[in-house]
Amino acid sequence: MRRIVLLLVLSMLGWTAAPARAEEDDAARQARWQDLRHAVFGDRQVEEGAGIITLDAPPRALDAALVPIAIDLVGPAKVTAVYLVIDENPSPLAGTVHFGPAADTRELRLRVRVDAYTLMHAVAETEDGRLFVAETFVKAAGGCSAPSTKDQKLALERLGQMKLKPVGEASANKSGETMQLLISHPNSNGMQMDQLTRNYTPARFIQDIRVTRGAALVFDLEADISLSEDPAITFGLLGKAPGPLAVEVHDSANATFKQSFELPGKGS
Amino acid sequence: MTRRQFTALIGIWLARTGAADAAPPPSTATPFSMTEVAPGIFVRQGVHQDATAENDDAIANIGFIVGPATVAVIDPGGSLDDGARLRATVQATTDRPIRYVVMTHAHPDHIFGDVAFVPDHPVFVGHARLAGALADRGDYYRRRLVEILGADRAGDYEVPTLLVADRAQLDLGGRILDLQAHGAAHTDNDLTVLDRRTATLWAADLLFVDRIPAIDGSLSGWLKALDGLKALPATRAVPGHGPPIVPWPAAAADEERYFQTLASEIRALIAKGDDIETAVTGVGLGERGKWLLFDDYNGRNVTAAFKELEWE
């Protein structure tokens, strides 16, 4: 409940303030981040994340509805969660990832919508409860209000389908492996009006993605309208855990999509 | 109802019908100088730019076909002024009324001149999915165009009143136009027009010449649509962007080569397990120098195509 109230407050901030902010200076952007930091983390200290976490995004997005971002967790400390904040989006807390014992937490990639020129923050929470932040700036606009669906018919036919793909060349000396999960889902945000009925198209977006291997959690992603259509998540998997990879996706229309993937070529 | 009331109503009805039949108000806008690319087919070539306050969003090829009885406008222009000038050109060219305004797809550079034609009471014609696309995106397009041109110049879209799910014909008084609705290609609501009399295909944005095509539908769907269009009995085509008229089907070759290049390079990356970030930095670069506005659109095209092809 607390999370819902928080998101509502943040959405109101975003809705009214976003269009005017594109031209604002760094000071205003930093002030907004301080507000958001306080809203998400309260009084907890958020430390500079150099050496622990990096956040990469294209400085100028080619498609504001599909901005690929990469979070690398490079420090020695064990990371238990990552928070992604897109400061100027209508709902700035774009996603929260909780890692489980089957995760290789070094790498995380997502595709997001960006609604205005914005600072973006990734915050890592380490095992000992400390928070470390990385920041980047992205020039993109309109990714939330412009629906990215290019083929409405196909989007409906494919709703809830998933794919799991190995990422990069297979390497014998890697301790784990990197996988990409694709989920076909419009992840629409309800910001478009139907001209005939004058009603807003109901929002339908993914709220939770839970990936487990055998009994062990890989990660749980609490998501929001800021994920791109057909969300794609690249994550690391520890090599040792046995069993198939199970994915469970829950969306705001109260639908659940489940799929299980055998992982080939992994002798345990 | 008394007989007198009934007669009065008929009188009002006749008066209104009469008013609708009378010549619509003349345009005060400045006509374009247009190319008559085939007998009765007039095309205004758009500039190879994106919308700016200076170019009035007059960036698409737009025009009209004059039949024995009526006129069909094919794409009413990119803004209120663009549409008003097209309407003035129709009036300077012929006395025949504008019966149809064909909207070839939902993009603003082709249809935001709609409002200029409202005084003609035309039938606004579009793909069956056009209404849905405009419901989703129309207000967004309008906001973006208002930012560039201002609210009084941006124009607006009309809700289509004749929807084409597959094929339809418009009769301009013996001159038949064959309309074809396509699956997702340039957008998911592309409509093309074939003028049988002159074997002219109005390909609109299914055909880009010189200017790099923009994929807002489906790469493989677009290639498939081109296959169908190449089989039509047409010897020339009106591209949505490019010269006013080009030989058909020869003019499709550049676009097809670009799409096939994207498809094969992206499929190779997907097979290797590479992601979209890698694709946007390298795919299609052999095509740079062959297209105007390449750097503005290639990365976006690669993003759209990658997102499509990774689901194959």
Give the DSSP letter of residue A204: B
> Is residue A157 very low, low, confident or very high in pLDDT (cuts 50, 70, 90)?
confident
Give the DSSP letter of residue A254: S
Higher pLDDT among residues B21 and A42, named by residue:
A42
pLDDT at B33 over 60: yes
Query: CB-based contacts of A115: which residues, under 8 Å, 6+ apart?
Result: A14, A18, A64, A86, A88, A89, A90, A141, A142, A143, A144, A145
Tokens 């996706």 belong to residue: A249
Q: Give me the pLDDT at residue B139, please.
A: 87
Q: Give me the pLDDT at residue A62, please.
A: 86
pLDDT, one tens digit per residue, over A35-75 is 999 999 999 999 999 999 999 999 888 888 899 999 999 88
Average pLDDT over residues B105-130: 97
Average pLDDT over residues B40-47: 98
Tokens 């992601």 belong to residue: B275
The alpha carbon of residue A223 is apart from the nearest alpha carbon of chain B, in Å, by 20
Query: Beta-carbon neighbour count of residue B26 at 10 Å?
Result: 11
Structure tokens at A247: 């994915």
Nearest residue of chain B to residue A233 (CA atoms): B275
Average pLDDT over residues A115-124: 94
First to last CA, chain A: 41
Please judge whether A149 and B136 are an interchain contact, meaning their C-beta atoms are less than 8 angstroms apart.
Answer: yes
Q: Give me the pLDDT at residue A263, please.
A: 82
pLDDT, one tens digit per residue, over B218-244 is 999 999 999 999 999 999 999 999 999
The alpha carbon of residue B242 is apart from the nearest alpha carbon of chain A, in Å, by 24
> Is residue A158 very low, low, confident or very high in pLDDT (cuts 50, 70, 90)?
very high
Show residues of chain B in contact with A165, CB under 8 Å: 273, 310
- Rounded CA separation B309/B312 (Å): 5
A199 touches chain B (CB under 8 A): no
pLDDT, one tens digit per residue, over B69-85 is 999 999 999 999 999 99
B216 touches chain A (CB under 8 A): yes
Instruction: Report the mean per-residue pLDDT for chain B.
Output: 93
pLDDT at B45 over 90: yes
Q: Give me the pLDDT at residue A247, please.
A: 98
B227 touches chain A (CB under 8 A): no
A146 touches chain B (CB under 8 A): yes
Please judge whether B188 and A150 are an interchain contact, meaning their C-beta atoms are less than 8 angstroms apart.
Answer: yes
Query: CB-based contacts of B211: which residues, under 8 Å, 6+ apart?
Result: B48, B241, B242, B291, B292, B293
Interface of A with B in 157-186 (CB under 8 A): 158, 163, 165-169, 180, 182, 184
Q: Is the ipTM of this complex over 0.90?
A: no
Cis peptide before B26 (omega within 30 of 0): no
Q: Give the nearest partner residue to A109 out of B140, B275, B299, using CB atoms.
A: B275
This prediction has a pTM of 0.87
> Is residue A240 very low, low, confident or very high in pLDDT (cuts 50, 70, 90)?
low
A198 touches chain B (CB under 8 A): no
Nearest residue of chain A to residue B305 (CA atoms): A150
- Beta-carbon contacts below 8 Å between A and B: 94
Q: Give me the pLDDT at residue A9, please.
A: 45
pLDDT, one tens digit per residue, over A164-179 is 998 876 444 455 689 9
> Is residue B1 very low, low, confident or very high in pLDDT (cuts 50, 70, 90)?
very low
The alpha carbon of residue A187 is apart from the nearest alpha carbon of chain B, in Å, by 14
CA A70 to chain centre: 10
Show residues of chain B in contact with A153, CB under 8 Å: 129, 184, 188
> Is residue B165 very low, low, confident or very high in pLDDT (cuts 50, 70, 90)?
very high
Higher pLDDT among residues B135 and A44, named by residue:
A44
Please judge whether A151 and B218 are an interchain contact, meaning their C-beta atoms are less than 8 angstroms apart.
Answer: yes
> Is residue A77 very low, low, confident or very high in pLDDT (cuts 50, 70, 90)?
confident
> Is residue A181 very low, low, confident or very high in pLDDT (cuts 50, 70, 90)?
very high
Nearest residue of chain A to residue B187 (CA atoms): A150
Specify burial of residue A137 (Cβ count, 10 A radius: 0-12, 13-18, 19+): middle
Structure tokens at A27: 């000071």
Query: Beta-carbon neighbour count of residue B91 at 10 Å?
Result: 20
pLDDT, one tens digit per residue, over B176-232 is 999 999 999 999 999 999 999 999 999 999 999 999 999 999 999 999 999 999 999
Buried b (16+ CB within 10 A) or exposed e, A179-188: bbbbbbbbbb
